C-alpha cells in the first residue's frame, strides 16, 4: 500500500517544510523538565512563510489519544505513536475544507509568545485537528484548588494576558472569548491564551473594555484576589489595578507599576505543580 505521507503536498511546519519535519522536529513536541520550546516569534521571519498547509490524513494514525479534558471546548491529550515522549494537545474544529487555509494563515500571522504554539494540523472527515504544544493547567484550576495566589503570580498572569490582548488589538482583532478556562499555564509557569484561532476583526471605534475583554478579565482577577483575601496579602496597588481594569485604557494598564511585580514566570511554577495535582477533576482517561 502506498504510504499516505509520500503523496501529501509539502507542508510548512514551524518555518520548516515537510522534508525536514520527520528528521528534525519529532522530538520537539514535548518540552523537557527544564526547557520549554520557544513559540514562533511575533514578528521575525514570518514574511518568508507564504503557505501553511495541513496533512490530509487521519491524525489518530499518527497520535494515540490518551485522555480527554472535558471543557466547553474539549481537548484531547495525545501521544505520538512512534515518538512516545511527544505529548500534545489536540483540538478538533468542524470546518469546510476551503476555509482551512485561511484559518491556518490567520494562526500563523498571529503567532505570539502569549498564544500556544501550533505544531501541525490535519484535516479528516470534515474536521480540522489542530495539534498544539502541551499545557498543564488553566486559571480555573487555580480557582478550584483555591491556591492562594500572591501578588507576583497575579501580576504575571495579568501582564501576560494583557500583552496578548494588546497584540491582537494592534492587529485590529479581539478575542471572541476570555474566561478562567481559556487562560492556560504550561509546566514552567508560562501563561498562554487559548482561542487565537477564533479571534475576530474589530474596528478601532468598537474597541472598549467590553469588546477587548477587560471587563471579563476584571471578573477573573476578582476571583483570584478572593483566594488570597483571607490572608490580607493584597496591597493598595492590587485594589487600584482591579478598579482600573474597566476604566483605564489598555496602554495605561500596561504601564501600571503593579505589573512591575511580574519579574519571572518561574514564580508560577510551584503553583502549576501543586494545582495540577489537586484539580484534575475534568480529566477522563481514554
Provide the pLDDT for residue 174: 98
Q: Domains of the chain: which residue ranges?
A: 54-132, 137-280
**Pairing between β-strand 183-185 and β-strand 200-201 as defined by DSSP bridges:** unpaired
Provide the pLDDT for residue 114: 96
Provide the pLDDT for residue 17: 40
Provide the pLDDT for residue 278: 76
Q: What is the pLDDT along the chain (286 residues), one digit of tens a residue?
A: 444 444 444 333 333 343 334 333 334 344 443 444 333 333 333 333 334 568 999 999 999 999 888 777 788 999 999 998 889 999 999 999 999 999 999 999 999 999 999 999 999 999 999 999 999 999 999 998 889 899 999 999 999 999 999 999 999 999 999 999 999 999 999 999 999 999 999 999 999 999 999 999 999 999 999 987 656 678 999 999 999 999 999 999 999 999 998 877 677 999 998 898 876 656 666 6
Q: What is the pTM of this model?
A: 0.79
DSSP codes, 19-85: HHHHHHTTTSSS--SS-PPPPPPSSTTGGG------B-S-GGGTEEEEEEE-SSS-EEEEEESSSTT
144's enclosing H/E stretch is helix 139-145
CA pair distance 53, 97, nearest whole angstrom: 11
Angle at 50 between CA 46 and CA 52, to 5 degrees: 95
Report the Cα–Cα distance between both ends of the chain, in Å, rounded. Answer: 30
Phi-psi region at 15: left, alpha or beta (left = phi > 0; alpha = psi -120 to 50): left
Fold that domain 137-280 belongs to in CATH = Transferase(Phosphotransferase); domain 1 (1.10.510)
Domain 54-132 has CATH 3.30.200.20: yes
DSSP secondary-structure letter at 196? G
**Three cell numbers at 276?**
495540577
Provide the pLDDT for residue 282: 61
Provide the pLDDT for residue 279: 64
Amino acid at each position: 500500500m502506498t504510504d499516505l505521507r509520500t503523496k501529501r503536498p509539502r507542508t510548512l511546519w514551524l518555518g520548516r517544510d515537510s522534508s525536514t519535519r520527520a528528521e528534525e522536529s519529532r522530538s520537539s513536541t514535548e518540552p523537557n523538565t527544564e526547557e520549554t520550546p520557544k513559540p514562533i516569534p511575533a514578528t521575525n521571519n514570518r514574511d518568508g512563510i507564504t503557505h501553511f498547509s495541513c496533512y490530509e490524513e487521519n491524525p489518530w494514525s499518527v497520535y494515540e489519544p490518551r485522555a480527554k479534558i472535558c471543557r466547553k471546548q474539549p481537548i484531547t491529550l495525545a501521544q505520538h505513536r512512534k515518538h512516545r515522549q511527544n505529548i500534545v494537545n489536540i483540538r478538533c474544529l468542524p470546518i469546510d475544507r476551503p476555509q482551512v487555509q485561511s484559518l491556518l494563515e490567520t494562526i500563523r500571522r498571529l503567532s505570539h509568545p502569549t498564544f500556544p504554539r501550533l505544531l501541525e494540523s490535519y484535516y479528516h472527515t470534515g474536521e480540522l485537528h489542530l495539534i498544539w504544544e502541551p499545557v498543564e493547567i488553566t486559571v480555573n484550576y487555580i480557582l478550584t484548588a483555591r491556591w492562594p495566589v500572591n501578588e507576583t503570580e497575579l501580576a504575571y498572569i495579568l501582564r501576560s494576558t494583557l500583552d496578548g490582548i494588546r497584540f491582537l488589538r494592534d492587529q485590529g482583532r479581539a478575542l471572541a472569548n476570555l474566561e478562567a478556562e481559556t487562560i492556560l499555564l504550561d509546566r514552567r509557569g508560562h501563561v498562554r491564551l487559548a482561542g487565537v484561532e477564533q479571534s475576530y476583526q474589530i474596528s478601532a471605534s468598537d474597541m472598549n473594555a467590553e469588546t477587548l475583554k477587560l471587563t471579563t478579565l476584571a471578573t477573573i482577577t476578582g476571583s483570584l484576589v478572593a483566594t488570597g483575601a483571607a490572608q490580607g496579602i493584597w496591597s493598595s496597588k492590587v485594589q487600584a489595578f482591579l478598579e482600573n481594569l474597566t476604566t483605564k485604557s489598555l496602554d495605561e494598564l500596561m504601564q501600571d507599576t503593579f505589573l512591575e511585580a511580574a519579574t519571572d514566570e518561574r514564580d508560577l511554577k510551584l503553583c502549576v505543580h501543586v494545582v495540577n495535582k489537586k484539580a484534575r477533576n475534568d480529566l477522563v482517561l481514554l
